[in-house]
Structure 1
Amino acid sequence: MAAKLLLVGCGKMGGALLDGWLRAGTTERVVVVEPGGLPAAVSHPAVSAVAGADALPDGFVPDVVVLAVKPQVMESVLPAYARLTGPATVFLSIAAGRPIGYFEERLGAAAAVVRSMPNTPAAIGRGITVACANARVGTEQAALCERLLGAVGDVAWIADEAQMDAVTALSGSGPAYVFLLVEALARAGEDAGLPAELAQRLARATVSGAGELLRQSTAPAAQLREAVTSPGGTTRAALDVLMAEDGLQPLLTRAVDAAARRSRELAG
């Protein structure tokens, strides 16, 4: 069923969501709040733009208000939408570090709120989003939010909002860890004697290709790793370093813990 949507903010993530909705035919009408107007690439009869909350079309009651502005400007933006709180509307936030209680305080206790954490591969329809709803979100509203988030990748739900800090640290920040892996592999290749351009090409192709193999396979990652590893071979020699007590696992554990701790700090 197509829905009436209000998209507050059309930056990178908001724009990726909008593209996904239009491709999937999820929307009956989308009103975008973006002071600078719609991106040049957006031209669709179901989409219109306004400069602010005070310019919304008369009588427009959205099924979903998607809050896609940066967390640091949410405080100044959110109060203008409190008048939309009601049983017909659910608020779907993609802002990192803003808990459900933050929105309830500013939108009213009756607000139906879904907090979500997407990640940047949503830009190519390959993201994963984790969502958590408050008690006022109905079954149909949750299903609608899942369809909207699912337009840019996989969706998972959690019942315990406290887990969102770990989600943020793992999948929200995770693409940066993968990009760093490419940088580190390329640098290691250079140190081993490869030209910089070739090392970069090999690192990018290896990580992206391995990721695609993982996506298409039903085997666990450990099984795929073992399939590449011959006893006494070159891969085994490298894994003996990466899987040592001071190797990759404790390093990633510390990194994810640091990101989760910072997420809790930002949430207050």
Structure 2
Amino acid sequence: MAKMVEIGGKLLLLGAGKMGGAMLEGWLELGLDPTQVAAIDPHLSVEAAGELAAKGIAVNPVLAAFGTPAVVLLAIKPQMMEVAMAAIAPLFGPHTLAVSIMAGKTIASIAALLPADTAIIRAMPNTPAAVGRGITAAVPNALVTAAQRTAADTLLSAIGAVEWLEDEALIDAVTAVSGSGPAYVFHLVEAMAAAGAAAGLPADLAMRLARATVAGSGELLHQSDQPAAVLRQNVTSPGGTTAAALEVLMAEQGLTPLMTRAVAAARRRAGELAS
């Protein structure tokens, strides 16, 4: 993995839960100096706090003693934003970059709680970040410098691929596709297992087959340069069993229109939460 870029100072992690913790693990693997990191999370268990402290990370330090960070990652629950941001806003300097992974919180709503002219990047990662296979879409405000964007790209790349957007309005659609998308895939596994059981397989065997099939297919998709459509065609013999199943899935009222409605519903809800 590439060497960590210089972020120009200290890093403050606001929220060390599943996503924030996964990102922190990725940064440490990239060579980030743990003594330059502070984690603020009053809800951390004693065990989790001890593990971070053992790595050299300052856990819930006196903020005034930490100093001005170069990067602040906002990984708290959206409903905690106002209270938490009030505590850390005084730490921001003229060159501090805020990177937010809070769902539904716009750049404007974040900027309203920080000093004027703060550089802000809004990002939407997903849960496969926990195994280094996530994908994150990110959008900067006009105040983000080229160096800050490069540093943020390296930080976000620690948990998977990164796609940069120039239009924040696309974030709701990203949320609906990749942010919520892992749940769709997990439900596909549930549906395949249920269908296998209905076809006569023992339920536990059907679930093992479904899990392994989806996991293996995802890895094949990851490693292959071929489009998904080509990979699908490679499995499908004319007149065979796969073709018979795809006739159902690709029918006029099949999987594509169903998924289109599902993504539209998620996108609509993301917009409601943002407003």
> Does the alignment pair 1:252 with 2:259?
yes
1:181 aligns with 2:154: no
Q: 1:50 aligns with which of 55, 60, 75?
A: 60
Q: Alpha-carbon deviations, 1:34-82, whole Å to 9, x = none? A: 224544443555411116xxx2252611110101101111122112222
CA 1:136–1:62: 2 relative to 1, 3 Å: same
**1:5 and 2:11 aligned:** yes
> Please, what TM-score do these two structures have when normalized by structure 1?
0.95
Number of aligned pairs? Answer: 265
TM-score by length of structure 2 reads 0.93
Q: Which amino acid aligns with 1:122?
A: A
Q: How does 1:127-166 map to 2 (within 5 A)?
A: 127-166=134-173
Equivalent-residue separation in structure 2 for 1:192 and 1:39 (angstroms): 48
Amino acid at match of 1:48: A
1:226 corresponding residue in structure 2: 233
- Distance change in 2, residues 1:185/1:39 (3 Å): farther
- Cα shift readout 1:102-157 (whole Å, capped 9, x = no counterpart): 01111133111100000000000000000001011111111111111111101110
1:26 matched residue in structure 2: 32
Deviation at 1:257, TM superposition (A): 0.4
The letter of the residue matching 1:87 is P
Provide closer, same or farther for how the CA distance between residues 136 and 193 of structure 1 changes in structure 2, counting only shifts above 3 A.
same
* Residue of structure 2 aligned with 1:14, choices 15, 20, 39: 20
- Identity of aligned pairs, percent? 56
Give secondary structure in 2 for the equivalent of 1:244. coil
Whole-angstrom CA distance in 2 between matches of 1:26 and 1:232: 55
Q: Could you tell me whether the CA contact under 8 Å between 2:64 and 2:91 is conserved in 1? A: no
1:89 aligns with 2:96: yes
Q: Secondary structure at the match of 1:136?
A: coil
Amino acid at match of 1:222: A
In structure 1, give the amino acid aligned to 2:249: L
Q: Is the 8 A contact 1:119 1:173 kept in 2?
A: yes
Amino acid at match of 1:11: G
Q: Partners of 2:27 and 2:54 in 1: how far apart?
A: 11
* Structure 2 segments unaligned to the other structure (5+ residues): none
Shift in alpha-carbon separation, 1:67–1:236, aligned structure 2, 3 A: same
Alpha-carbon RMSD across the aligned residues, in angstroms, is 1.4
Whole-Å Cα distance in 1 between the matches of residues 265 and 116 of structure 2? 32
Instruction: Show structure 1 runs of 5+ residues with no match.
Output: none
SS in structure 2 opposite 1:137?
Answer: coil
CA contact (8 A) 1:2 1:27 kept: no
Alignment CA distance shift 1:60-1:209 (3 Å): same
- The amino acid across from 1:85 in the alignment is F
Q: Is the 8 A contact 1:85 1:108 kept in 2?
A: yes
